[in-house]
Chain A
Amino acid sequence: GAGVSQSPSNKVTEKGKDVELRCDPISGHTALYWYRQSLGQGLEFLIYFQGNSAPDKSGLPSDRFSAERTGGSVSTLTIQRTQQEDSAVYLCASSSSGTGLNTGELFFGEGSRLTVL
């Protein structure tokens, strides 16, 4: 597609259930990012992929959070045993990172809004 696509756009779940959020990056973009944005707050870095590997998982809030990326393309963020504090918008971004100057131009999807009841 032309842009970063995320699904579902909205997800309401009950506390304790598992959820999966999907991100389709721009074709050819090697870097993929997940951020979390709570209501009225800034963007919290969660994890970053370069190809299929995740050099930096330091932002994942707890071991209930995991993410994977396959084929250098689609990524899935999984939250197990959801808690009410997990309610937020989860944003995915991709970029064509490379060597040399780091441009920091990230292309964002519209986000997946997660509500945990």
Chain B
Amino acid sequence: LAKTTQPISMDSYEGQEVNITCSHNNIATNDYITWYQQFPSQGPRFIIQGYKTKVTNEVASLFIPADRKSSTLSLPRVSLSDTAVYYCLGRDPTSGTYKYIFGTGTRLKVLA
């Protein structure tokens, strides 16, 4: 079973850069690495995805090493509104289906 491992929680201050790393040792060859953000009482929402190297969008950057066994979500200059739970997403490569498993998530708290 594809298992993703992330830190349970992180604290940061406004204006700092936050890096959250996820380990996904069993990621399938043809799978993207995808990250989600979830605010309280809302469904998760897609932030960013990548296959290898670096991807950047208006919200975040995603760094993926050559072996693809981990990925790092980078949030530049966080604000209080970035306080949320961040999930990396893995697919079960043995099931032959699109069974996507969420890890425990990283609870980010941004302090003033």
Give the interface of A toward B (CB within 8 A): 4, 31, 33, 35, 42-43, 45, 48, 50, 55-56, 58, 91, 93, 95, 97, 100-111
Contact = CB atoms under 8 A, between A and B. Distances in A.
Interface in B18-54: 28, 30-34, 36, 42-46, 49, 51
A45 B102 contact: yes
Interface stretch (B58-66, B68-76, B89-97): B89-97
A99 B9 CA distance: 35
A106 B91 CA distance: 12
A50 B100 CA distance: 13
Contacts of B45: 108
6 contacts: A33-B100, A91-B43, A102-B30, A103-B49, A105-B32, A108-B45
A105 B46 contact: yes
A39 B9 CA distance: 16
A103 B87 contact: no
A45 B32 CA distance: 19
Contacts of B33: 104
Contact of A42 (B28, B43, B98, B102): B102
Contacts of A55: 95-97, 99
Q: Quick one: which of A33, A58, A91, A103 has the most chain B CB within 10 A?
A: A103
Contacts of A33: 100
Nearest to B100: A104
B5 interface: no
B30 A100 contact: yes
A101 B105 contact: no
B2 to A, nearest CB: 11
A37 B34 CA distance: 19
Given A91-B43, A110-B42, A50 B49 contact: no
Contact of A110 (B43, B46, B98, B99): B43
CB-based closest 10 A-B pairs = A108-B43, A104-B34, A43-B102, A55-B97, A102-B31, A97-B98, A103-B32, A56-B99, A56-B97, A42-B104
Contacts of A97: 98
